[in-house]
Structure 1
Amino acid sequence: MTKRPPVLAIFILSALAAPAQAQAPDEPVVSEVEEPVGPLRVEAPPFIDPVPFIAAEPPSLSRPVKAMIEEAIRRDDSEMLAAVVKVALATQPYDKAEIRAMQRAYLDRKAQALAQRTREETERIRNSGVLELWAGQLELGAFRSTGNTSNFGFTGALKLDRKGIDWEHTVLLNADYQKDSGKITREKYGASYQPRYTLRDGFFTYGRLQYEKNRIQGIDDRYSLSGGLGYRVLKRRNMNLSVEAGPAVRHTDFVTDPTETTWSVLTSFDFDWKVNGTLKLTQTASSYVGSDDSTFTSLTGLEVGVAKGLKTRMSYSIAHETSPPIGALKTDTISRFSLVYGF
């Protein structure tokens, strides 16, 4: 029969077996503090080598907007294209580069075509003959005069123009005639030739040879020769204004008075304004200012187109002599209504 160890011996052995650093049961228990979790790291597989390429069209202008711009270009309408481009830029701001490129391409083609036509026209003018490049107007109608006479009669005029690169030539013929009961009551004729040579910056030189016959006003024949300098004050698409000034000599054969030759100063201006496609306003005036006698003339005209190459013209002219022959009035006025044909 086995003997149990004594109780005291068991207690002593248990005390000796406990660790030396054991915490007393009365001390509080301290828990461990958890550290914060760091960023999440994911290990991704390497890219495929080579990298795959997928073909894709770049962003482009929407089809409806592009179709409107192309239609304006097809019609060759610059104003319509400018309006369409303005709206397209406002509604498609991210495609402004493509919109501007389409507009620039059209304007560049238009400028190149215009430059080519200009070169061809310049070459044609340089190689033209003396009898070429002439354009004219034929005017036929009726008139009513007041002053030295008060009656109705017939009027006619022919104007020829030739415009070159530097030179411009103008020939003008006009006549007013009226016969009443077998007696001539109105007889006025005129002719003039004027060349112009362009200098620079709107300046030009001119010459003028003029003939007049107006027996009602006491002038049997009058010849005038002048030359000087002119300037184009306005030169626009629908409006032109030029002025001239220079010395002049006039030789006059009066009906009753003796013949005389006088020196004077000629000034004149020529203005025309195309109000619209069918309406045009013209105004010319000139003055010969001398020591013994001076002459002032004015012609105002209004033209209205009625058909291709044909228009109606209403005009009012004034002629004033400061020292007319004895028995003649100083001022004559004529109102004309006529048809003008351009060729």
Structure 2
Amino acid sequence: MHRPLLLSALLLPALVAQAEESDVTASDINTWKGSAELGSIRTTGNTDTSSLNAKFGVFHKGLRWDSGLKLEALTSQEDDVTSKEKYAAALQLNRNFAENHYLALLAEYEDDRFSGYEYQSLVSAGYGYRAIHEQDMALDLEAGPGYRYDRLDEGGVIEEGAVLRLAAKFFWTIREGVEFGQLVSMDDGAESTVWKSETGLKSQINGSLATKLTYKVKHTSDVPEDSKNTDTEFGVTLVYSF
């Protein structure tokens, strides 16, 4: 499997979704919602450091299909030397069959230039169940097969194979203007197992602006030589919602 095939796997569900939704009137579909996040830190003195954390996401809920796209970029420099550089994208399409049941289609791509990989990618299709579906709280559970395609920095070696993907997504509006989110996933394959966790707490400042604290953990059971198994990120960002 090569990059064009991965791109096709990512785009094909989107085209199907568009065709399915084309006969649905505008009154049946919610408007698009999205957010843009930006965080930056700059220190000077004994050590000059700077970092930039940017995220963009859009979500659309339809009569048959729900769709979401997330883009992320993280860079960090210390004494004019790049110490962290990561770019990631994720597209998820959910085909609703009933109020609490859906087909989850996911495509992910990550380019972390200090991970030992040139890039890592995943496509999966699985069953989704909305265990909690209330106005101020939601819990989605997903399980299904997927396919991982990774390319190592050293020698361009390809690691690929089938995986089992499990995921849980929890959202809770604690009170008006304060939201908590927890996303946990596991991709279990013959080559390695990847665990991901993202915890976020967002506090609204006014109608469109909010601050957000985010803590992310990624653990890979088997990694390239001289790479660490666990990566963590802590971010403080300003969020603009639209």
TM class by smaller structure = 0.7 to 0.9
Residues 227 and 246 in structure 1, CA contact (< 8 A), matched pair in contact too? yes
Distance 2:41 2:125 in 1: 32
Distance 2:25 2:191 in 1: 48
Residues 143 and 336 in structure 1, CA contact (< 8 A), matched pair in contact too? no
Aligned to 1:255: 153
How far is the alpha carbon of 1:189 from its aligned partner? 0.7
Distance 2:31 2:136 in 1: 22
Say whether 1:331 aligns with 2:227: no
Say whether 1:302 aligns with 2:198: no
Bigger fraction of residues in strand: 2
Residues 50 and 78 in structure 2, CA contact (< 8 A), matched pair in contact too? no
Q: Where in structure 1 are there 5+ consecutive unaligned residues?
A: 1-124, 145-150
Q: Where in structure 2 are there 5+ consecutive unaligned residues?
A: 1-22, 43-48
How far is the alpha carbon of 1:279 from its aligned partner? 1.1
Aligned to 2:118: 220
> Cα deviation per residue 1:3-30 (whole Å; 9 max; x = unaligned)?
xxxxxxxxxxxxxxxxxxxxxxxxxxxx
* Backbone CA RMSD of aligned residues: 2.1
Residues 143 and 334 in structure 1, CA contact (< 8 A), matched pair in contact too? no
Distance 1:341 1:279 in 2: 14
SS in 2 for 1:216: coil
The TM-score, its normalising length taken from structure 2, stands at 0.83
| Identity value in percent | 26
> Cα deviation per residue 1:90-131 (whole Å; 9 max; x = unaligned)?
xxxxxxxxxxxxxxxxxxxxxxxxxxxxxxxxxxx93239xx
Say whether 1:134 aligns with 2:32: yes
Residues 141 and 154 in structure 1, CA contact (< 8 A), matched pair in contact too? yes
Distance 2:108 2:144 in 1: 14
The TM-score, its normalising length taken from structure 1, stands at 0.59
Alignment length (residue pairs): 212
Structure 2 CA distance for partners of 1:159 and 1:176, relative to 1, 3 Å:
same
> Cα deviation per residue 1:35-60 (whole Å; 9 max; x = unaligned)?
xxxxxxxxxxxxxxxxxxxxxxxxxx
How far is the alpha carbon of 1:206 from its aligned partner? 1.2
Residues 192 and 210 in structure 1, CA contact (< 8 A), matched pair in contact too? yes
Aligned to 1:160: 58
Question: Per chain length, whose mean CA-contact separation is higher, i.e. which structure has more relative contact order (CA < 8 Å, sep 6+)?
Answer: 2
Distance 2:41 2:179 in 1: 20
Aligned to 1:280: 179
